[in-house]
Chain A
């Protein structure tokens, strides 16, 4: 158990819909990262937040957005869903005890768009 929690574990929704994925980082971790794992694209970095502010952006679609709240939990919002958005979405956290570079992953949310 990495200490990172993600909800829900599974999500099935229809094309065109909007969903929100939630992540709680390890206690004390200030950075949250979102990754997408799909068969086509492999594991891809989406976005990073540090202490409530966006720190880095990767290959994140405009239909996707994220935020980190004052209690440090983060949400990834996916809208106008397409079949190709079906994937495993991971959240990871880091930046505790000065060790900024090791990321600990949550169990993931499996999104299926039908």
Chain B
């Protein structure tokens, strides 16, 4: 069974600075996707970024980028130029491909990020 671990329950960062959120996962699969979702105080789940396991290049979306280390089973999220609106809980998620359960997202426990002015 796959598991996703986020070892940092809470983090804080000053506005305009850079912060990195950690995520590790455990799987014997070779084909999968990894995601970061953001859940602000409104509780809406918002997709931040996606990484395909077969791609060596790290995904980037504006101020958000990932460091994907497949051998180490590590998938960290870097937020550059942090903004107050980045304050949220961030969830790392794993999805196995090419199986009867493709589509099932397995989430980590979440990291609460506070951006301070």
Q: Do chains A and B interact in one complex?
A: yes
| A interface, CB within 8 angstroms of B | 2, 31, 33, 35, 42-45, 48, 50, 55-56, 58, 88, 90, 92, 94, 100-105, 107-108, 110
Instruction: Looking at the assembled complex, report how far the CB atom of A16 sits from the nearest CB atom of chain B, in whole angstroms.
Output: 27
CB<8 Å pairs between A and B, sample of 13 = A35-B105, A42-B108, A43-B107, A43-B110, A44-B107, A94-B103, A100-B102, A100-B103, A101-B33, A101-B102, A103-B103, A107-B42, A107-B43
A105 to B33, CA, bound (A): 17
Q: Which residues of B contact A35 (CB under 8 A)?
A: 105
The interface bits of chain B over 57-91 (1 if a CB of A lies within 8 angstroms of the residue's CB, else 0) are: 00000000000000000000000000000000001
Besides A2-B46, A42-B107, A100-B103, 19 more A-B contacts (Cβ < 8 Å) are A42-B108, A43-B105, A44-B107, A48-B103, A56-B102, A58-B104, A88-B43, A90-B45, A92-B45, A94-B103, A101-B33, A101-B50, A101-B103, A102-B35, A105-B44, A107-B44, A108-B43, A108-B44, A110-B43
Contact A2:B103 (CB < 8 A) given known A42-B110, A43-B91, A102-B50:
no
Q: Which residues of A contact B91 (CB under 8 A)?
A: 43
Is B101 an interface position by the 8 A CB rule? yes
Instruction: Looking at the assembled complex, report how far the CB atom of B116 sits from the nearest CB atom of chain A, in whole angstroms.
Output: 25
Contact B44 A2 (CB under 8 A): yes
Is B13 an interface position by the 8 A CB rule? no
Q: Which residues of B contact A107 (CB under 8 A)?
A: 42-44
The 3 tightest CB contacts between A and B, nearest first, are A105-B45, A43-B107, A56-B101
Least CB separation from A45: chain B residue = B104
Q: Which residues of A contact B107 (CB under 8 A)?
A: 42-44
Instruction: Looking at the assembled complex, report how far the CB atom of B84 sits from the nearest CB atom of chain A, in whole angstroms.
Output: 21
